[in-house]
Amino acid sequence: MHEHDDNDDEAFAETALLQAIENQIEAGEPSAALATLNKLTLVGYEREDIVQMMALVLAHEVKRMLAADRPFDSAAYEQALRALPELPEDPQAPA
């Protein structure tokens, strides 16, 4: 019997988020995705690091959506993308 491992879940979630970001960049939807990649590339960030940061922003918005039981807020997501490299604050994180 295979034991369920939380690390497997985390790795799967991270892979799914990274793939979602790659899809957004490729599709140009939302436009903030490609704009963010271009902006951060211009200031010297590596693509892999940019995609990781963008995935963190996506995860943050998904967490907020689930916590508040509301639809995905595209405007807030795009605003958070445009704020990178500053990451969104986690209201539950210790100050």
Q: Are 73 and 65 in contact (CB under 8 A)?
A: yes
Buried b (16+ CB within 10 A) or exposed e, 59-75: bbbeebeeeeeeeeeee
What pLDDT shows up at residue 90? Answer: 65
What is the distance between the alpha carbons of residues 95 and 85, in angstroms, rounded to a whole number?
19
pLDDT < 50 stretches in the chain = 1, 93-95
Report the greatest alpha carbon distance in the chain: 49
Q: Is the pTM of this model over 0.75?
A: yes
What pLDDT shows up at residue 94? Answer: 46
What pLDDT shows up at residue 92? Answer: 53
